Structures are given as structure tokens and as C-alpha cells.
Amino acid sequence: MSNGKQKTHSGAAKRFRKTAGGYRFRSANRSHLLTGMGRRRKRRLCAANMIHRHNLAAVKGMLGD
């Protein structure tokens, strides 16, 4: 009997995207109640974040890459 394919972690699939430069994810605290935040804080949270190299193996394993 074969073991079949490895399943993708559905929670990780919603949070991480593979790009040419690595894996990116969205910052937290960017969905609502933004009026109380300063302009600079909102702008910095908006920037794309890349997965750190220490966490790369874990993310690859969850996504099946």
C-alpha cells in the first residue's frame, strides 16, 4: 500500500505565499481599528514581510515544498 501524497497545512497555505525571493506573509494588526494608529506605523505594517531563514524549513514543510 502506498503512503500517498503529503497534505499541505491549510492554515499555512492561507498565510504564506511563495515568491521568487522567498516566502512572504502579511503583518498582523492591519485589518480594523486603524484610525488610532499613526501614519508611519500603518505604512510599516503594510510592507511585505519575508520569512526569516530560521523558520524557512518549518514553512517549507507545512507547504510541502
User: What does the domain layout of the chain look like in residue ranges?
Assistant: 23-63
Residue 29 burial by Cβ neighbours in a 10 Å radius (0-12, 13-18, 19+): exposed
Contact 61, 26 (CB under 8 A): no
Residue 24 binned pLDDT confidence (cut-offs 50, 70, 90): very high
Of all residues in the chain, the percent with pLDDT exceeding 70 is 97
Mean pLDDT, all residues of the chain: 88
pTM flag (> 0.75): no
CA–CA gap between residue 40 and residue 46 (Å, rounded): 10
Over residues 26-55, mean pLDDT: 90
Residue 40 binned pLDDT confidence (cut-offs 50, 70, 90): very high
Joined together, the cell numbers standing for residue 39 give 501614519
